[in-house]
Chains A and B, each alone.
Chain A
Amino acid sequence: ETGVTQTPRHLVMGMTNKKSLKCEQHLGHNAMYWYKQSAKKPLELMFVYSLEERVENNSVPSRFSPECPNSSHLFLHLHTLQPEDSALYLCASSQDHGYGYTFGSGTRLTVV
């Protein structure tokens, strides 16, 4: 399998649940990202990992917790989310920063 794969594609969770989003890239890239996409807003960068180290945390609430165990995998752990966190969560990878990204298809998250 090639490209960037995200699972699950859809997720509905209650405000007290704990869940995780998974991202896997098969491109040999050295940087991975989490983005939030909400209607009528620009893509919001959440986290950047370069060579498995977090290099940026864009003032994201602590109820979102990223994990990058190796250069191919990225997780986003979710707990006690709010309804306004409902959005499409996109994972992306790139070879070095500042160039073209390869995005996954995203996880559509609904918080009820």
Chain B
Amino acid sequence: QQQVKQSPQSLIVQKGGISIINCAYENTAFDYFPWYQQFPGKGPALLIAIRPDVSEKKEGRFTISFNKSAKQFSLHIMDSQPGDSATYFCAATGTYKYIFGTGTRLKVLA
């Protein structure tokens, strides 16, 4: 019940394309769903987050779509750029629980 399943493990997208990363959770007590971006040699950085009372949140080229009934959420990167090449982690959190997905390595080709 504490897992967060993230897919795909790796993703290659052409410049200008849309990158989509999916996560699924099991524990309905989670109430905050962040996405982190990690570049080599750096720690993860908070990118965007959503609460379950909304179905979508957009910040610039990054959008989270949230499906509460399916217990799934996804990150969409519009107009993907080579600078977006990084590892992306989803997470699901609740009181004293913060569960991360296994990460998706994104490569955007120039």
Contacts and interface: CB of A to CB of B under 8 A. Distances in A.
Interface of A: 4, 6, 40-43, 45, 48, 55-56, 90, 92, 97-106
Contacts of A103: 36, 43-45
B75 to A, nearest CB: 15
Interface residues on B, range: 20 to 34
Contacts, number: 54
B34 to A, nearest CB: 6
Contacts of B41: 105
B100 A99 contact: no
Main secondary structure of the interface of A (DSSP, over half): loop
Given A42-B100, A43-B89, A104 B43 contact: yes
Contact of B95 (A40, A41, A42, A98): A98
A56 B96 contact: yes
A100 B98 CA distance: 10
A98 B31 contact: yes
Given A42-B103, A90-B43, 14 more contacts: A42-B4, A43-B100, A55-B96, A97-B95, A98-B95, A98-B97, A99-B93, A100-B46, A101-B34, A103-B36, A103-B43, A105-B42, A106-B42, A106-B43
